[in-house]
Amino acid sequence: MNILERYHAMEYGPAPEARNEADAWLAARDFGKALFIGGDWKAASGGKTFDTSDPSSRKLLAKVSDAGAADIDAAVSAATKALPKWSASTGYQRAKVLYAIGRAMQRHQRLFAVLESIDNGKPIRESRDIDVPLAIRHFIHHAGWAQALDRDFPGHKGVGVVGQIIPWNFPLLMLAWKIAPALAAGCTVVLKPAEFTPLTAILFAEICERSGVPKGVVNIVQGGPEAGGAIVNHPGIQKIAFTGSSEVGKIIRKATAGSGKKLSLELGGKSAFVVFEDADLDSAVEGLVDGIWFNQGQVCCAGSRLLVQEGIADAFIAKVKTRMSRLRVGSPLDKNTDIGPLVDLTQLDRVKGLIAEGAKQGAICWQPDSALPAAGYYHLPTLATGVSPANILAQEEVFGPVLATMTFRNTEEAIELANNTRYGLAASVWSENINLALHVAPQLKAGVVWVNGTNMFDASCGFGGYRESGFGREGGREGMFEYLSAKLPLGPIIKPATSSARPVEQAEGGAIDRTAKLFIGGKQVRPDGNYSFAIASAKGKLAGEIGLGNRKDIRDAVATARACKAWPEATAYNRSQVLYYLAENLSGRADEFAARLTQLTGATAKAARDEVELSIERLFLYAGLADKFEARVHQPPARAVTLALHEPVGVVGIIAPDNAPLLGLISLVAPALAMGNTVVAVPSEKYPLLATDLYQVIEYSDVPAGAINIVTGRSAELAGVLAKHDDVDGLWVFADAETCAKAEAESIGNLKRVWTGNGHSLDWPSNEAAGDALLRRAIEVKNVWVPYGD
């Protein structure tokens, strides 16, 4: 036998990672007292425990304390007690603690890796080389943010006590993503790991003990749904950060509605892996292996939808099958293993069920001819071809080693297929033509896009989704904002609108009678129901009648806003010119608007003129910022740059307040427009004539039809319609507390971004009620990773 023959005959032998230290740690710890509360180890108050098992063997690892509501209450009390001193500590003091955590984790990184693999089932190569080093990186990176807060986030401070709930697919990494920025911001934490994977969180709590973390700053409570619900609903928590399924995310959104809690959700995904015909196919195959079979496909951003150009589809699929046949399924502690077990029997059964349903719907499911280990929750990598866009395997998050494949003919069809999902977490684009790749990336509705790569993460770069993949970002500068707050200046409490008797006294003057219509698609249109309602002047006389918009009018306005491509596709410079023109034309009619303000609100002539002038100034401000609130370029420690692009949220619904009715409306509409959003605005219910007077200003200011739509009517009713509308991407509500809470609760259909005043208006003349704070709410941040070098 010659050397070449020997080479081809070689087989991999087992290369197991030693687990003796992990077993010694397991044997030495009393997991019946695994709740880390106020710096002490405690048993659950109810005495309950749950089992955590090794998914590769199904053997019991430990019986762990199962926290109940009383334990969560104790943890929140400890965090609340520790908050004043921790938040008042200097950035340097917090940085030292974060750095100490990172260094201590480095000293025990092999123990972390082994525990992660035996508790979760992921191959040791992944936990050792990816999860643990990246978790350490987050703590050391955020030590720098702790010291830089005053410089980089002036006027901001930590939100307070934070409740964090993490999943089982990346137990340690998700913990680091959550805890590191919270501590850097000066927050204290109550964190609940997933029931399936509690071990590395317990080891991390031990690290906190050794690293000088003050008692009560970090509290880690193991538990199930009862513990999670208690965290979400606890009145002593100011922010909830959740990573998990979209279904649970919606429950949390509804539960926190009206509470005033800050909320970030990192949820499911159905990420597209787009391969163009000029791609390096061998590299794309390796990227695909990493994209879908990393961590057995139990990854929220897994590239589970392969879109491949028709001309190369057969050749590419053949390469994929060859590569799949060489994937090694086996013990997660074997350094040669590519695919370990799924986390639990429930997950294994779910994956099998979805594959069976996908096959029923026409998919052809192929698996390599490989043997599975006798014990454990193993599943072979699966390739589904002949998949229609509506197939369950193309639409639902499988969360397993299953790849659904479709073909496309041209770039436009690739983009359309990639965006044909209710999710929007991540995507990969493969092409040797960087111009093509960077043409496609901004058009994909995803929070992260990798060019010629996949599953690239770093603490310096934000991660998070669009649509039902959640909102908020983790990592980098944008991730720090999730744990900081800058109090906007509050205005008066908004009381619910009350029906009042229609004025009967006709206004003085002989002007021709006029009913103000709605403004939809650049035209003045009658309301669908052909109803109107009377608007009284400050003296109680009839100032005019206004169209009473309804659900169908909102539907028409949203459809028109969605169809308007000219505005979001315009350059920032062109948008700034239009906003300047709006300011210019409003200035030309300043006397008229001031008179209208006085007539309706009873404001003095000077106060009315001041509000008009400040409204013009606001338009000028946002015109100037339209091309200056710019994206950033991150430089992670890899041969890549990450472009943190600012993109419009999309269609934004706005419920404007009664106080400062002109200034409030413009202060909300202008930043949304400046960032390229299209708007459906419901103006002040009490003083809507100020908005209808704007129609002509809009019409002759070169605003594209559909960019601004105005529907007058009952604010509470129309806010509910906008909240439920799944083609509305963002909703800003300044109304009474009940209306605000309902808007948040009813937004769960598509998990739109909702900003409310929680029953308060803002002090609109204040400088703090303008500028970057509002612009940040008008954008999504998309991180596009672009590798370079050979």
Tell me whether residue 187 is one of the annotated catalytic residues. no
How many CB atoms are located within 10 Å of the residue 576 CB?
20
Q: Which two tokens stand for residue 150?
A: 């005053």
Q: Which of 17, 116, 195, 266 is catalytic?
A: 266
Distance CA 68, CA 487 (A): 33
DSSP string, 132-152: HHHHHHHHHHHHHHHHHHHHH
Q: For the chain, what is the total number of helices (H) and then of strands (E)?
A: 29, 34
Contact between residue 166 and residue 178 where contact means Cβ atoms under 8 Å apart: yes
Contact between residue 777 and residue 648 where contact means Cβ atoms under 8 Å apart: no
How many CB atoms are located within 10 Å of the residue 233 CB?
17
| 3-class SS of residue 110 | helix
In 3D, which of 253, 275, 255 has the Cα closest to residue 264? 253
Q: Where are the alpha helices (DSSP H) in 548-706?
A: 551-563, 566-569, 572-588, 590-601, 605-625, 661-674, 689-692, 694-699
DSSP string, 749-777: GTT-EEEE-TTEEE-TTSGGGSSHHHHHH
Distance CA 539, CA 508 (A): 11
Q: How far is CA 476 from CA 93, 153, 639, in A?
A: 20, 13, 18
Q: Which of 187, 208, 300, 564 is catalytic?
A: 300
Q: Could you tell me the end-to-end alpha-carbon distance of the chain, in angstroms, rounded to an integer?
A: 37
Size of the chain, expressed as the number of residues it contains? 790
In 3D, which of 154, 149, 152 has the Cα closest to residue 186? 149
Q: Which two tokens stand for residue 189?
A: 């934490």
Q: Which residues pair with 762 in a beta bridge?
A: 490
Distance CA 686, CA 661 (A): 9
How many CB atoms are located within 10 Å of the residue 492 CB?
12
Query: Residue 566: is it exposed, middle or buried by C-beta count within 10 angstroms (0-12/13-18/19+)?
Result: middle
| 3-class SS of residue 546 | strand
Contact between residue 682 and residue 518 where contact means Cβ atoms under 8 Å apart: no
How many CB atoms are located within 10 Å of the residue 523 CB?
14
Q: Which amino acid is at 694?
A: L
Distance CA 87, CA 607 (A): 41
Scan for tokens 């695919």, then name that residue: 339
Contact between residue 181 and residue 474 where contact means Cβ atoms under 8 Å apart: yes
In 3D, which of 222, 135, 148 has the Cα closest to residue 180? 135
Distance CA 474, CA 239 (A): 14
Tell me whether residue 611 is one of the annotated catalytic residues. no
In 3D, which of 460, 429, 379 has the Cα closest to residue 271? 429
Distance CA 293, CA 338 (A): 8
Residues classed as catalytic: 266, 300
